[in-house]
Amino acid sequence: MNAPRSITLLLAAAALAGAPAPAARAQRPPGPETASRNSVAAIVNGKVITRNEVETAAQYQLMMIQQGVSDAMDRQQKEREALRKGLNDLIDRELIISEFERMGATIKPQYVDEDIRRLIRENFEGSREQFLLELKKRGMTWARFREQHRKSLVVAAMRGQATRNVDFATPEQKERYFRENQDEFREEGAVWMRTLAIPQLTGDAGLTAEQQRTRQRKLANEIRTRLLQGADFAAQARAYSQDSKSASGGDWGVVQRSALAPQLAEVAFSIPVKTVSQVFEFRGFYYLMLVEERQPGKLKSQAEIDELLDRLVQADLKKKAMDEYLAKLRKKATLVFPDPELRPPDGPAPR
């Protein structure tokens, strides 16, 4: 395995268990500038979580939002949601670690060291020197990495403890899960769809990029209103769309899900048939989509369904058990949210 990529993954896992690595701070894309990165985002049982740590936990999501969402208001909303999710994950981990400490539990030092040796064997061909060199490049000491790895082992152990009493799924639970989630047990589906693509930027020298996006999004919404009022999608696509499908009235024909970009597939397989989608952004365009027909894939073999049911229902039961466990920890915890932007709607006010 490529060593730099490996250490990046290891440091990312360490950051989620505790304080962020300095390298992660250096590489983090800018988030909303409404608060100092050194400000306090939350206090969990007396322990501080900084804005800096939250932005590190949400680093990947923030980067994807910066690259993929051009509308300023939409981008700000998505960034806020990503930061709140990052904060929520950090709070969960701090609650788990606090409960571990409250119980007086410990993880033997030799267990921590052996697990790090395993990571070095698997990711650096057993070379401790190469591993330490990668740590140094990213501004993290051995002692700091070891402590963060210890915390990640604590979290893993406590999660296992919280879900240890989850029984095997009953036939009734499997049947209900299958009935409510049949799409998960089908082969790849196909869809006949049309799209209409409005470029976000027009090159108008008299307008800023943001003004161009605002004008073009307004146009996309106006077209959607006309479509909802009965205008023909194909005619509107031929008149306004500026992608390779415009001449055919936005017609893609029947395409397999795997042939579509993930974002297009998500829309195509979620909106109702014969319904115009909301305006969404994709690769520099504002898109509208109409699904003419959708063909669900055929069900997998019974053996595959049974294997998937065992795994998926068990994972679902463990998630519910973990959610209940965390809810109990939150109920008895002292949580303070000094940062108003990241405070949950039902969170306590700052003190």
* Domain range list for the chain: 3-166+323-336, 187-295
Start-to-end CA span in the chain (Å): 48
Q: Residue 23: what pLDDT?
A: 38
State residue 343's pLDDT score: 85
- Residue 289: in which H helix or E strand, if any? strand 285-295
CA angle 158, 160, 161 (to 5 degrees): 60
CB burial of residue 129 (10 Å; 0-12, 13-18, 19+): exposed
Other CB atoms within 10 Å distance of the CB of residue 79: 23
187-295: what fold?
A: Chitinase A; domain 3 (3.10.50)
In sign, the C-alpha dihedral spanning 328, 53, 28, 135 is negative
Give the sign of the dihedral formed by CA 36, CA 37, CA 42, CA 48: negative
Name the 3-class secondary structure at 251. strand
Residue 339 banded pLDDT, cuts 50, 70, 90:
confident
Element spanning 238, H or E: helix 233-240
Beta strand pairing status for 190-199 and 47-50? unpaired
Three-state secondary-structure class, residue 141: coil
pLDDT of 169-213, one tens digit each? Answer: 899 999 999 999 888 898 889 999 999 999 999 999 899 999 999
For domain 3-166+323-336, the CATH architecture is: Orthogonal Bundle (1.10)
Give the pLDDT of residue 5: 45
Asked whether residue 24 carries a pLDDT value surpassing 50, the answer given is: no
Taking alpha carbons only, the member of 92, 167, 117 closest to residue 328 is 92
The stretch 315-326 carries a mean pLDDT of 94
User: Any idea which of 16-25, 215-224, 234-243 has the lowest mean pLDDT?
Assistant: 16-25
Burial, 255: exposed, middle or buried (Cβ in 10 Å; 0-12, 13-18, 19+)?
A: middle
Q: Is 138 exposed, middle or buried, given 0-12, 13-18 or 19+ CB atoms closer than 10 A?
A: middle
- Residues 123-180: tens digit of each pLDDT: 999 999 999 999 988 888 999 899 989 999 999 999 999 999 888 889 999 999 999 9
pTM above 0.85, yes or no: no
pLDDT tens digits for range 86-96: 999 999 999 99
Contacts of 209 (CB under 8 A, 6+ apart): 201
Alpha helices in 108-208 (DSSP H): 109-124, 128-137, 142-162, 171-180
Q: What is the pLDDT of residues 255-295, one digit of tens each?
A: 999 999 999 999 999 999 999 999 999 989 999 999 999 99
Output the average pLDDT for the chain: 86
Q: Which residue has the higher pLDDT, 72 or 325?
A: 325
Question: In angstroms, rounded to a whole number, what is the distance separating the alpha carbons of residues 76 and 89?
Answer: 20
69, 77, 199, 262, 265 from 282: Cα distances, Å:
9, 18, 10, 11, 12
For 343, which DSSP code? S
**Tokens representing residue 138 in the block:** 């990213």
